[in-house]
Amino acid sequence: MIHDLTIPIHEGMTTYPRPWHPYVEVSQLGRHGIEGRETRKLVLGTHTGTHVDAPRHFIPDGETIDNIDLHNLYGRCSILNLVNTPNLSAATTEDVYRALNGRPADRVILRFDWDKYLGSNRYYEKHPFITLGAAQLLIDRGCVMIGMDTPMPDSPQSTDMAVHKRVLSQGAVLVEYLCNLKSLPTDEVFDIVVAPLKIVGGDGAPARVFAIA
């Protein structure tokens, strides 16, 4: 079965409340009956909706999204059940170790079931995250992709974005704003496909993400 883990992109959707992230605009240009076809103009950010952070997002000479090794974006993936992590708290190294339960860590998804708060301020202000040690554990096990159903792996109160920087500086990518993780088997390994737009020099890009489980 194929599971779509992507949030819908539409006008009026909530976006990260910072001036360096734009509001989404979708305007129709071509119309049936007039131009004889439908086309639309999109205004998106590189971090709109479900998206990939390339190393360049926080690392000045880091790899850009058009040059990410596709191995980072496709292959076996383990989902880590961290739904018991309290709001505004971190899943620790031990939590992540336990959730991994001996499975490979090449690609992992952190499941908090936080997508239920999509569209609210709470989604951005109270989300759980992981400790730097937990991120390091995954990196040490060869992780090249960390996905999550929250806006980011750092605390909403973080000013140094230490987890982002640790992961991205190792050449791994982050996949943020996933949804629908409940539909996936928690204790198995499945294939994931993460397909970001190939934006030349991009620090990240919106992506369609699906799992075959």
- Return residues touching Zn ion (CB under 5 A): 47, 53, 176
Neighbours of 153 (CB within 10 A): 30
Minimum gap (Å) between residue 202 Cβ and Zn ion:
11
Q: Which is nearer to Zn ion, 95 or 202 (CB)?
A: 202
**Could you tell me the smallest distance in angstroms from the CB atom of residue 52 to Zn ion?**
8
Contact 91, 100 (CB under 8 A): no
CB-count burial class (<10 Å; 0-12, 13-18, 19+) for 124: middle
Burial of 195 (0-12, 13-18, 19+ CB in 10 A): middle
CB 21 to Zn ion: min, Å: 9
CA distances from 36 to 27, 30, 42, 199 (A): 17, 7, 20, 29
The least CB distance from residue 159 to Zn ion, in Å, is 16
User: Distances from the Cα of 70 to the Cαs of 58, 66, 79, 126, in angstroms?
Assistant: 20, 10, 20, 32
Contact 187, 101 (CB under 8 A): yes
Closer to Zn ion by CB, 100 or 194: give it.
194
Residue of 166, 155, 100, 80 lying closest to 124 (CA atoms):
155
Of the pair 115, 176, the CB lying nearest Zn ion is at 176
Q: How far is the CB of 132 from Zn ion (least distance, A)?
A: 18
Whether the Cβ atoms of residue 64 and residue 56 lie closer than 8 Å to each other: yes
Nearer to Zn ion, 47 or 165 (CB): 47
Of 13 and 189, CB closest to Zn ion: 13
Cβ-based nearer residue to Zn ion, 95 or 176: 176
Whether the CB-CB separation of 175 and 7 falls below 8 Å is answered with no
Question: Closest separation between CB of residue 46 and Zn ion, Å?
Answer: 8
3-class secondary structure, 110: strand
